[in-house]
Amino acid sequence: MPIDHFAVNGRVMPAGEARVSVLDLGFLRGVGAFETLRTYGGGHPHALSEHLARLWESASAFGVAPFVSEGDYRRIIADIRRTSGHDELRVNMVVTPGENVSGVFGAGEPTWVVIARDLHAPPASAYDDGVTAITFEAQRHLPTLKTTNYLTGKVGMSLADRAGAHEAFYVSPEGYVTEGVTSNLLVVQGKRLMTPAQDCLPGITKAGVRPIAEAQGLRWYECRLTKDDLYLADEVWITSAVREILPVVRIDDHAIGTGKPGPWARSVRALYHQSCIADARRDAASRA
C-alpha cells in the first residue's frame, strides 16, 4: 500500500508529518503561488521547466525570486515517487513568502512545498461521454498568474457542484468567458480553434496542444468569446495538466454540438497524450 510522502523546504517526509507554520503568509494572508503538473512514462514530470518559469513569475508578484533549481525539484519529485510507491504522480509545487516576522507582510525565508500524490486522472468515461459545465460571473484575482487565491473559484465550484457539473467558467463583467476554475477553454467552430488570451492563465497544456491541433488542420485564433460562442460551438474543450483535453458536452442548459464529444477532441487528445509520453521517453533517454 503506497504511503504518500511530501516535501517541505526540501525535506521529504511522510505526508502526515508535513507541516507549515501557522504564521506562514500563505495561511495568514493568502499570499502564495503554485503549479500543478503530472508525470508520464513512469515518473517524468511533464513540462517541468515551463511550470517552474510560471511558478517564479507568479511568485515575483509577492517579491520572491527563484531560489530552488529545476534539478532540485526534479530530484525531490523522484524521491517522493520512490518513497511513496506511486507509478505516475500529480504534483503540486507551492511557494509562499514564508513566516510573518514583522508588520503585515514582513517575511523570513520563503516556504516551498512539493505535494505529489497518485495521479487520479479522470476516468475513461469522462473522455468518452464528455463533461458538463456552468458559467458564473466573476473574475479571478491576477488572472495571468497562478496564485493560491482561488476564493472566487471556490464560489464557482460550489455552483458547479450544486448543478452536478464538472467545471465552472468565469464570465467577465463585459460578458466574456475567460477560463474555467482550474482549466483553460477552447472552442471548435468548423476548422477554427478559438481560445481567450486575455484575463486567463497562459495554460501550459493549451500551448502544448496548439502545434498538434494545427498539424491536424485546425486554425488557431486567440479571441474573446461570449457565452453564445460556447453554446453555438461544434465542440468545447477544457485543458489542464492532469486532464489534458476534456470535451464539454453541456454548458448551462445548452447541449454543445451533437451533445457528444466531437471528433477533434478525440483525435487531438490522443495525439497530445502520445506526445507527452514521447517527451517523457526522450527526457529519460537524455538523462540515462
Residue numbers of the site for ligand PLP (CB under 6 A)? 36, 140, 179, 182-184, 201, 203-206, 239-241
Strand bridging mode 254-255 / 244-251 = antiparallel
Could you tell me which of 195, 180, 226, 27 has the C-alpha nearest to residue 111? Answer: 27
Between residues 100 and 239, which has the closer beta carbon with respect to ligand PLP?
239
* Least distance in angstroms from the C-beta of 190 to ligand PLP: 25
To ligand PLP, the closest distance from the beta carbon of 251 in angstroms equals 17
Q: Which is nearer to ligand PLP, 81 or 140 (CB)?
A: 140
The CB-of-256 to ligand PLP minimum distance in angstroms stands at 19
Degrees to nearest 5, angle at CA 141 with 137 and 144: 105
Query: Which one, of 195, 260, 204, 188, lies nearest residue 58 by Cα?
Result: 204
As measured in angstroms, the least distance from the Cβ of 92 to ligand PLP is: 10
Give the residue with the Cβ less far from ligand PLP, 100 or 240: 240
Burial class (CB in 10 A: 0-12, 13-18, 19+), 202: middle
Nearer to ligand PLP, 38 or 86 (CB): 38
Which residues are bridge partners to 131 per DSSP? 248
Strand order in the sheet with 89-96: 11-14, 5-8, 111-118, 89-96, 33-40, 44-45
Q: How far is the CB of 250 from ligand PLP (least distance, A)?
A: 20
SS3 184: strand
Q: Are strands 167-171 and 192-195 parallel, antiparallel or unpaired?
A: unpaired
Q: At closest approach, how far in Å is the CB of 204 from ligand PLP?
A: 3
**Which residue is associated with the grid cell 460551438?**
233
Measured from the CB atom, the residue of 100 and 178 that comes closer to ligand PLP is 178
Nearer to ligand PLP, 107 or 157 (CB): 157
